């Protein structure tokens, strides 16, 4: 059965990357995993549009929490962050915020001590 593209991209690819990288990360005893979530994944404001995207990002949030708990004490920190609306085709010109500005938070999380 083919996977829904949003689910494959937003959840399963992240899961596969973590499954491949975490053993090496554990050997180093230090690393960061930063997943990119979305405000559309919030369970408290879940709506009826963009269903596959919302569900895939909510699942990514769950994966993030499970990995964070599983890797606690290993030196590997696991976080998710929201980039906010940026001037991309998804925002349809609703903002003038650049993707570079959106990258500030995940870069900070990846480099944070």
53 among known catalytic residues: yes
The DSSP element (H or E) to which 10 belongs, if any, is: none
E strands of the chain, at which residues? Answer: 31-36, 76-81
Q: How many helices (H) and strands (E) does the chain have?
A: 5, 2
Candidates 53, 57, 71, 102; catalytic one: 53
**Residues acting as catalytic residues:** 53
């Amino acid at each position: 059965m083919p996977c829904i593209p949003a689910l494959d991209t937003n959840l399963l690819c992240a899961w596969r990357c973590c499954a491949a990288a975490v053993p090496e990360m554990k050997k180093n005893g230090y690393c960061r995993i930063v997943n990119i979530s979305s405000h559309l994944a919030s369970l408290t404001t879940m709506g009826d549009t963009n269903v596959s995207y919302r569900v895939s990002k909510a699942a990514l949030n769950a994966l993030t929490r499970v990995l964070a708990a599983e890797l606690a004490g290993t030196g590997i920190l696991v976080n998710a962050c929201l980039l906010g609306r940026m001037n991309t085709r998804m925002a349809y010109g609703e903002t003038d915020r650049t993707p570079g500005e959106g990258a500030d938070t995940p870069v900070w999380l990846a480099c944070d001590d």
